Amino acid sequence: MKVLKNFIPFAAVLCLGGVALGEDTPMEKEMGVMNTAYKALKKSVEDPAQKAENLKLIADIKKTTESTAKMEPKMAADQGAKKAEFLAKYKSEMAEFGKVVDALEAAVKSGDTAAAKAAFVKLGELKKKGHEEFKKD
Ligand code: HEM
């Protein structure tokens, strides 16, 4: 029991410390994985010789798109009565992002470099828009 009494404050301090230090949210961690794949893809997306590697990177983006679409951005907590509307908009933009990821995958699979490049550029635009609307500074 004494051990438990000592452990609870210790655990609480650790948790608060994590928040105070600005530790990554689960969503930030997933976005970090997406970012690594996105940056790598930027260099290789127009190279048909790297098709297999590109498809792996796109699969990472797809997976993190699916996981983050189910999460709530930190900013959702500040929305008050508009929270449901905020989350609906977030989910809808994530779904749009997912469709462009599918288009990118199809273009890379078929070796359509121009379509792959166009879809990749669109992903960058949706990323910018998504961060402006849903990400706290
Ligand atoms: C290629 C696409 C994307 C990349 C590479 C990307 C990358 C990132 C990175 C690196 C972070 C962490 C930033 C930090 O620690 O401050 C982040 C956070 C975030 N991103 Fe993205 N992102 C992408 C697309 C999107 C889209 C489409 C949306 C929304 C529709 C979005 C919404 C957010 C939000 C809300 C956060 C903050 C997480 C939180 O509130 O806990 N991102 N993103």
Ligand 1 is surrounded, with C-beta below 6 A, by 25, 27-28, 31-32, 34-35, 38, 73-75, 90, 93-94, 97, 123, 126-127, 130-131, 134-135
How large is the average pLDDT for residues 43-66?
A: 97
Please write the tens of the pLDDT for every residue from 85-133.
Answer: 999 999 999 999 999 999 999 999 999 999 999 999 999 999 999 999 9
pLDDT at 12: 46
CATH of domain 25-134: 1.20.120.10
User: Which token pair is 22?
Assistant: 């600005």
Average pLDDT for the chain: 89
Residue 81 is given by DSSP the state G
Considering the chain, what percentage of its residues have pLDDT values greater than 70?
Answer: 85
pLDDT interval class at 137 (50, 70, 90): confident
Non-local (6+) Cβ contacts of 135 within 8 A are 73, 74, 75
Mutation pick for ligand 1 pocket among 23, 31, 94, 102 (CB with most ligand atoms within 8 Å) = 31
Interior/surface letters 30-68, b for 16+ CB within 10 angstroms, e for the rest: bbeebeebbebbeeebeeeebeeebeebbebbbebbebb
pLDDT interval class at 72 (50, 70, 90): very high
State the greatest distance between any 2 C-alpha atoms of the chain, in Å, as a whole number: 66
Please write the tens of the pLDDT for every residue from 14-31.
Answer: 444 444 457 899 999 999
How is the chain split into domains, by residue range?
25-134
